[in-house]
Chain A
Amino acid sequence: MSTPTTTNWAQALVQQRSSPAPAAWLDNLRQQAESRLDRLPLPRRKLEAWRYSRIDALFKEKFTPVVQAPDGASLQRPESNSPHVLVFVNGWFSPSLSSLEQLPDGITLKSLAQTLNDEDEQLRQHLGSIADKDENLFTALNTALINDGLFLHIATGIHLDEPIEVFYLNTASEEALLVQPRNLLVLEEQAEATLVEHFLGGKGNDYFHNNITEILLLGKAKLNHYRIQDESSNAWHLSNIFLRQGEQSHYHGITLSFGGKWARTDYRTSFSGAEADCNLRGLYVAGDDQLGDFHLDIHHNWPACNSREQFKGLLYGKGRAVFDGRILVDRIAQLTDAQLTNDNLMLTRNAEVDTKPQLEIYADDVKCSHGTTVGQLDPQHIFYLRSRGIEETMATHMLCQGFAQEIIDHIHLDSLREQTLQRLQHTLKKLQE
């Protein structure tokens, strides 16, 4: 049996890249990433970062990159209350499904492909500059095939009050598609925005969604970032989020993971100024044949920054969860306050949890802690509810919802919070069947 190698699996995909990039600098970026592919190891169990992620089956599948904007005419426009809606179909921006109202001056909100034609200086300067940390095969693959994605730039002091809502639709296709949106968000000093991202796929569609989001927050900038992953039950989903935070900036991120057969989200945060605040929350719900996987790498490389990481998992059926959170505090990062928690609820016999919270600390005047729990529902809690006349299934339902709501309650947008609660209840109902 021949084992796949980096060269033949990734190179085969890159070879299908059609035309050269519209700009020379981008072509350069792609080429360089391509040349690094050979040197990057194939993610396997033996690599610490992939120890529990079980990804071997991915390399046995044959994917086709989407190299041209697909026709989205047959698709329905997603429902949204936001005045700024962008829809990407198989990784490509679809103008017909999107609706962008007039934006205040100083805000650029476009598709990456459009921006390339405009020769945006910000884009050229920052694209790829934040994602240079800990490159792996998948991030290099995304870069080697950059085509389209989201580009947001907000100038100094501008606040965008309404949320920006982005939908990534993955459609059915005869071949398994490789979908790779590439996003760049730059918030200049004191700029503020809210971004909501939905990752959706049709039932049973088989594809590999491999996205990268680079986020640069300059001094005192503030971003609320909600991500709801509800891919098809046959999909592979890999999100890589690279975040760099300037002095006194705030990042408030929530990722909810419901779908996909294999769904992994990697967060890499570092700082470029002191006293910044980074809040990461996540909820993963995984059932039969699903993997919910979160990897955090919070690098405190500036003094006096705070970070809070709170992740919760609900496992049922044969669901599997992986959590790997690392807080690294450099020698100069005195007065760091970092706290990480990970709680997992196993509702069934065959569920599985692997968790690995890590602290790596080189500074002494810090407050760092992590806490992890894995367990099932407390029978006494169930008994308490049952003794008040609530059916067992209902009691389970209520307790699970309460567990998950600790994350969902941090969504500041009312409609989105409602929507995600309904999504959660939909899954919990399945549990009762």
Chain B
Amino acid sequence: MSAKQETVEDLVKAGYEYGFVSEVKSDTLPPGLNEDTIRFISGKKNEPGWMLDYRLKAFEYWKQMKEPDWAHLRYDPIDFQDISYFSAPKKAGEGPQSLDEVDPELLATYEKLGIPLEEQKALAGVAVDAVFDSVSVATTFRKQLADAGVIFCSISEAVHDYPELIQKYLGSVVPHTDNFFAALNAAVFSDGTFVYIPEGVRCPMELSTYFRINEAKTGQFERTLIVAEKDSQVSYLEGCTAPMRDENQLHAAVVELIAMEDAKIKYSTVQNWYPGDENGVGGIYNFVTKRGDCRGDRAHISWTQVETGSAITWKYPSCILQGDDAVGEFYSVAVTRGYQQADTGTKMYHIGKNTRSTIVSKGISAAHGQNAYRGLVRMGTKAENARNHTQCDSLLIGDQCGAHTFPYIEVRNPTAKVEHEATTSKISEDQLFYCRQRGLKEEDAVSMIVNGFCKEVFNELPMEFAVEARKLLNVTLEGAVG
């Protein structure tokens, strides 16, 4: 028992590995939010009038809205006037033309994170649209993608270069009226990624964006839009780490996916933002709206997430299955330790015939962590023969944590089939004993069992991410059980 106590303490005290601040000169707006803030952001980016109008409309709407309080989360109220809404690394004249021109400090940051751009280029064949704070500083593999007809750029660039696409799709899946944080994002989003895969194209490489919140007190409001035209395919990777902070940082991103007929989008996330210290001070507040729209028949959208960071996670990647035979998937591993809280899950709206969805959610709670799955499965009246299977498992490590499951199931069609299962347990003594008996160290045994518990989800991750996720999980839970 005492050994267990010790190791749990070690775990809690284990510093945040990626907690360092890189000193890059920033062009930061003082805290505060009003119409001028929005005009400033828009002006800074030389945005056309329609973009500014969109932002202002969203801001007007946001002002009327109330912050949601239904989630199973406890946190100090957020003062939205105490946040700086814009921070961009200083640039001398034009933007960097190649990696050589990128601030070396910035590149060093990526080195520390273990994601050297060059190496990744060569080894993994991954094109990285690296977002450092709010402005994209380097985009690689542009040409190779361009040859395939794929557009992969920052949202700011897309607003200038592809205004008709942005006007057509931005906000069409997550409108600014959707929820409090989506409205806020629509008003102040700083930058993000735009991906467009033309008809019949299979994206030649896995696309990836690294996010990193760097400037103190800077909220990061990313906006991601991915459009996959008829019969196209794309796999997108999103990974995050952030430096150590004492104050809570707000992150309210919006991700919109649009899949046309026979298109397939796979969206994978590894989220490892600063979770706060051992007393629950600091850490990122992560309020994200992610939604995919299967607009065509046989469209396929798959969300995979590994959530190990953030003090607060509020995130429900969803699928709207409009087309007949459309498929939606959600695979999630969420780990809460220290004083972390996560309220996460998914929504599957079955509208078309023969639509199918799979939900696999694995929650792991340790120390004082609180982990909630919240999900909705809705079978509409026209969803003939639609199917859903949901599996939610929770693992509790220690007697101070909590695991919760809040599924909502709404069925309006008798031919639809819905199955939901949930279990909650701890690592059993029997399992541990079995492993120890065969000469495994207790820690290795736990790591093995936990990895086995998450296997179904890890299997869904692209290779590079699966390795990282497994490593992350082991580091996160190091010594958590004894």
Contacts and interface: CB of A to CB of B under 8 A. Distances in A.
Interface of A: 48, 52, 331, 334, 344, 346-349, 351-376
Nearest to B429: A365
Nearest to B412: A352
21 contacts: A331-B400, A344-B411, A349-B413, A355-B408, A358-B406, A361-B403, A365-B399, A365-B426, A366-B424, A367-B425, A368-B423, A368-B424, A369-B423, A370-B420, A371-B419, A371-B421, A372-B420, A373-B417, A374-B409, A374-B411, A374-B416
B394 A361 contact: yes
B396 interface: yes
A375 B414 CA distance: 6
- Overall SS of chain B's interface: strand
B414 A354 contact: no
Interface in B249-268: none
A360 B407 CA distance: 12
Contacts of A362: 401-402
Contacts of B411: 344, 346, 352-355, 374
B405 interface: yes
A373 B399 CA distance: 31
A353 B409 CA distance: 8
Nearest to B410: A354
Contacts of A359: 394, 403-405, 422, 424
A334 B401 CA distance: 13
B399 A372 contact: no
Given A371-B419, A373-B417, 6 more contacts: A361-B396, A364-B396, A369-B423, A371-B421, A371-B422, A374-B418
Contacts of B75: none
B397 A364 contact: yes
Given A359-B422, A364-B426, A331 B399 contact: yes
Nearest to A352: B412
A354 B409 contact: yes
Contacts of B406: 356, 358
B407 to A, nearest CB: 6
Contacts of A334: 399
Contacts of B328: none
A30 to B, nearest CB: 34
Contacts of A367: 424-425
Contact of B424 (A354, A361, A372, A374): A361
Nearest to B393: A369
B7 interface: no
A368 to B, nearest CB: 4
B400 A371 contact: no
Interface in B414-460: 414-426
B398 interface: yes
Contacts of A373: 417-420
Contact of B399 (A346, A351, A355, A363): A363
**Which 8 A-B residue pairings sit nearest by Cβ, starting from the closest?**
A346-B414, A364-B396, A372-B420, A359-B405, A375-B417, A374-B418, A368-B424, A369-B423
A366 B425 contact: yes
B407 A356 contact: yes
B423 A356 contact: no
Given A346-B411, A361-B402, A375 B416 contact: yes
Contacts of B403: 359, 361
Contact of B419 (A349, A358, A372): A372
A352 B378 CA distance: 11
A352 to B, nearest CB: 5
Contact of A372 (B397, B416, B418, B425): B418
A334 B426 CA distance: 11
A331, A346, A352, A361 interface centre (most CB from chain B within 10 Å): A361
A371 B419 CA distance: 7
B70, B394, B423 interface centre (most CB from chain A within 10 Å): B423
Contacts of A347: 414
A39 B404 CA distance: 30
Contacts of B407: 356-358, 372
Nearest to B379: A374
Contacts of B408: 354-356
B54 to A, nearest CB: 29
B70, B402, B416, B424 interface centre (most CB from chain A within 10 Å): B424
Nearest to A320: B412
A373 B421 CA distance: 9
A97 to B, nearest CB: 42
A399 to B, nearest CB: 14
Contacts of B401: 362, 364
A358 B406 CA distance: 5
A430 to B, nearest CB: 17
A359 B365 CA distance: 14
Nearest to A323: B409
B397, B402, B411 interface centre (most CB from chain A within 10 Å): B411
A52 B411 CA distance: 12
A360 B401 CA distance: 11
B293 to A, nearest CB: 24
Contacts of B420: 357, 370-373
A368 B379 CA distance: 27
A50 to B, nearest CB: 14
A366 B399 CA distance: 10
Contacts of A366: 396, 424-426
Given A347-B414, A372-B407, A357 B422 contact: yes
A61 B476 CA distance: 58
B405 A370 contact: yes
Contacts of A376: 414-415, 417
